[in-house]
Chain A
Amino acid sequence: MKQFLAFIFVIVVGGMIILSLHNNTLFTEFGNNNPSDHYSDSYIDRDVTENNDDVIFGESENLESGPANIVTAIVADYRSFDTLGEITVLFISSLGVALLLGGKKKERMDLHYTPNFMLRIGSRALFGIILMTGVFMAVHGHLTPGGGFPGGTMIASSLLLLYLANDTFRTKVKRFKLLESFAGMAYVAIGLAGLLIGGYFLENFLPTGTIGTVFSAGIIPIIYVLIGLKVGSEITGIIDNFLTEEAL
């Protein structure tokens, strides 16, 4: 009976979504959403006022927002305050995991297998490669797909590999906590510097340079590297908490 009621409820909700997709003017049909019809065009033209100067890769200088990756321009520049709140949410969830699973007498969980020779040597070789890929993604977030969030998670994944390859390995969690606090405080400090110099919180006060070069986009690469460090250390803390348990 309960399952039948749940089935009816789900069908009604899904039917309402599908019906409202076809009978309104807010959502366009699938595949017909042209950004030049609405506000998203401003993010592509890099101009919230309506004068349309052309943006040309490798030539345009001193635009309103510098990155060649338009998604990065939205995440780290136009909606940077939003991103600050979002990494705060991740910080609070990492804090909650540490409160629930942390404690005094904690030991590393025994995974019940002995790592063989190939795994031990191969993990050491792969660790550097994965770590470098993560750092590359965080540093080049304004030019290529990627950015601080996948880059930071990749840094945490390289440490997860070390955890899996060695049964007694533990990171120095305190130093990661220190790095996390430093990254968060530096983000807020950059925002306050923008408030002092430019008049708005998180205002881009450095010159944005030529679009498409590595040293461009002002404070955005700095912010994305800080986000990468913060996300990486938070997720490393979560992994460490999940792989410990109370001493028997």
Chain B
Amino acid sequence: MRRLAKTSASVMLALPLAGCDGSQSALDAHGASAIELKQLIIVIVAVCSVVWMLVMVALIGALWRNRPALRPPASPSAERRMTIATIAAVVATTIIISGFTVMSFIATRALAVAGNHDLTIRVRGLQWWWSVEYLGTSAERFETANEIHIPVGRNVRLKLEGVDVIHSFWVPSLAGKQDLVPGRNNELTIRAERVGIYRGQCAEYCGMQHAHMALLVVADSQDDFDKWAAAQRQAANPPAEEELAAGRQTFLAKPCAACHTIRGTDASGKTGPDLTHVGSRRTIAAGLFETTRGSLAAWIADPQTIKPGNNMPVVPLTPDELRSVSAYMASLK
């Protein structure tokens, strides 16, 4: 019996913790605004739960008292009492929703005045990946994809642009979502309060592969972030081994270079993600796989089976070419 109680207690504990692996949950808040939103959510849900329970008490009371033995005769005074009770309930409803409205207004204002920004990043949504461009002077600028690094404890302004259709930027552990609408300039400020990796996902239906349009936000200490940014600004490493050189040769000779950029080479295509440091990113294909030589090879060999409908065509390669290209990709740290 005690063991059962212990097991069920641990299950009860595990349930709310299930969402707390730092991946993607509004209940696992580590960003300034997500923490504020979580508090608001808890208060509103708690009040609403109480309201629902009161209604249920009234309903059960109504069903219960109706047993013939308990039923008193109807009377004008009963009618009057019910009128008073109904009016009281309506007044209570009005007070509660007024309170919610004021709370929402205050929370909205608090989110809007998040202070000055330490960093500005342009995030563009495309079918079905995220282009990420760190803005600043021309020496500071660089581009990456599907993975955003930010310094912890700093306000980061995201300039959100929809390129083709509407997408929505949502990293629930950090902040509420904001749409990327073609023809409009939307912004969102995020601030991570804790070092960690936060998963996000497109929240506005954007076509065939809407389900596979994820991204990671990596919150680093300022030092780590500066190191990472400095590395990202560099051009791609020249290949050190023969196989990697062959891989680069294949990449430049095949249609790959028409869509992708690798800074430091002739590849300067703009329709696909910037691959200059693709090997340093944790995932490929917008969060679909962990980046390994094997997953890169699988993706290059058959992107249409892995992520049907995406814009990457199948490029016929010999086994050797596939091996060397994927090795080269993995080496682009």
The answer to whether A and B assemble together is no
